[in-house]
Amino acid sequence: MSRIAQLARRRAILGVVLAVLLVVAVLTSAVVGQFAVSPAEVVGSLLRAVGIPTSWAPDDPTTEAALWVIRFPRIVMALAVGTALAVAGAVMQAVFGNPLAEPGVVGVSAGAALGAAFAIVTGLLAYGEWTIAVLAFAGGLGATLLVYGVSRANGRTEVVTLLLTGIAVNAFGGAGLAFLLFVAGSSSREQIVFWQLGSLSGSLWREALLVLVIAVAGTIAAVALARRYDILALGERNARHLGIDVERLRLWSIVLVALLTGAAVAFVGIIAFVGLVVPHLMRMIIGPAHRSLLISSAVGGALLIVVADLLARTVVAGAELPIGLLTSLVGGPFFFALLWRQRRASGGWA
């Protein structure tokens, strides 16, 4: 079998595997927790919600409440955040022409977190959830534009400049965040830890749905641009010669990255490395063509965050780990390996 046909088969297999794993992960996540619920009850409750009565549906209102008030919104939030972060990562890598670009690594998440924290601290939150999302978007947009403006030369991004810019933006964003929380006085160390390492604890329906809408719309927009991202891999000049309006593509993509990252960070804080690890794994399995890469990253990101959140709340009995701690624990070494490989491939740090 030719390698091209092999790739097509791999894409199909990957799609099925991801879908099955996602369903299993979501069900497990709904079942496991301090309050025991059986898988049958979860399915029964879901079926009842869509108007199909079954004998499985739980009679106990406490079970209903545990599922619908606490676990389901949290799972929806996990799905939405994972999708948003993974797609934002893949889009960023396409536009920067560099597999190491990622919202957390280069400081877009920090910018978004700063914006979100500003909304909360200054009391703008009183006007509604969307103020957080809007300011997170603004913060993320500022950071993306900054990184993009600084780290590019001749239509491509050098690794060193990209990462150094990321360090600076992350440091500034992190310090700004800590300062805001400190000045507000409201701020315990937990607040800072929450923003820097993220947590899905206490997710509300209206927040989760807002993030979900943005994640789905953003993914659709990114997939619509997929063919253009493929051609952009030839470099800006070559893409332009093939009829791509590079400036417009770039502008929309930066807005898209800021929007997705802002939505992901606004309510759950910074969860780093998702946008790096997921697209990279997918690229290894099915190749770099962006249509399938973006779709599989969207699903893979959702899967990763659902599983990571499940671990975050079950690994240590009676306590919750920050979810970003887990993703960074895996993502850090992964990032290092990637960096190492790229250095070897290019014969230097350029």
Partner 1 sequence: MSGIRAEGVSIELGGRRVVDDVHLEVPPGELLALVGPNGAGKSTLLTALSGEKVPATGSVLLDGRAIGSFDALELARTRSVLTQDNAVSFPFRVIEVVEMGRSPWARTPGREGDADAITRALARTDVEHLVERRFTELSGGERARVSLARVLAQETAIVLLDEPTAALDLRHQEDVLRIARELAAAGRAVVVVLHDLSLAGAYADRIALLEQGRIRALGAPVEVLTQELVAEVYGLDVEVLVRDGRPLVIPRRATA
Taking the complex as a whole, the smallest distance from the CB of residue 106 to partner 1 amounts, in Å, to 16
Is 75 or 91 the residue whose CB approaches partner 1 more closely? Answer: 91
* Count of residues engaged in binding partner 1, rule: CB under 8 A: 30
Tell me if 234 contacts partner 1 by CB under 8 A. Answer: yes
Angle CA(97)–CA(306)–CA(67) in degrees, nearest 5?
150
Tell me if 235 contacts partner 1 by CB under 8 A. Answer: yes
- Name the one range near partner 1 by CB under 8 A: 142-150, 154-162, 178-186, 203-211: 154-162
Tell me if 231 contacts partner 1 by CB under 8 A. Answer: yes
CB count within 10 Å of CB 333 equals 11
CA distance 306 to 268: 13
Among the listed residues 289, 330, 338, 339, the single contact to partner 1 using CB under 8 A: 289
Tell me if 2 contacts partner 1 by CB under 8 A. Answer: yes
Among the listed residues 204, 238, 255, 330, the single contact to partner 1 using CB under 8 A: 238
Among the listed residues 160, 164, 245, 350, the single contact to partner 1 using CB under 8 A: 245
Tell me if 345 contacts partner 1 by CB under 8 A. Answer: yes
Tell me if 8 contacts partner 1 by CB under 8 A. Answer: no
Is 240 or 250 the residue whose CB approaches partner 1 more closely? Answer: 240
- Name the one range near partner 1 by CB under 8 A: 53-61, 139-147, 177-185, 284-292: 284-292
Angle CA(72)–CA(266)–CA(308) in degrees, nearest 5?
50
Taking the complex as a whole, the smallest distance from the CB of residue 290 to partner 1 amounts, in Å, to 9
Tell me if 233 contacts partner 1 by CB under 8 A. Answer: yes
Tell me if 343 contacts partner 1 by CB under 8 A. Answer: no
CA distance 242 to 236: 10
**Burial letters 139-150, b for 16+ CB under 10 A, else e:** bbbbbbbbbbee
Angle CA(82)–CA(83)–CA(84) in degrees, nearest 5?
95
Among the listed residues 35, 38, 183, 241, the single contact to partner 1 using CB under 8 A: 241
Taking the complex as a whole, the smallest distance from the CB of residue 245 to partner 1 amounts, in Å, to 5
- Tokens 């619509």 sit on residue: 224
Among the listed residues 48, 240, 250, 291, the single contact to partner 1 using CB under 8 A: 240
Taking the complex as a whole, the smallest distance from the CB of residue 157 to partner 1 amounts, in Å, to 9
Phi and psi at residue 248, to the nearest 5°: -70, -40
- Name the one range near partner 1 by CB under 8 A: 71-79, 166-174, 198-206, 231-239: 231-239
CA distance 91 to 84: 11
Taking the complex as a whole, the smallest distance from the CB of residue 1 to partner 1 amounts, in Å, to 11
Among the listed residues 53, 185, 243, 348, the single contact to partner 1 using CB under 8 A: 243
Q: Which residues 209-228 are close enough to bind partner 1 by CB under 8 A?
A: 227
Tell me if 97 contacts partner 1 by CB under 8 A. Answer: yes
Tell me if 28 contacts partner 1 by CB under 8 A. Answer: no
The footprint of partner 1 (CB under 8 A) covers 2-4, 7, 97-99, 154-156, 227, 230-235, 237-238, 240-245, 283, 287-289, 345
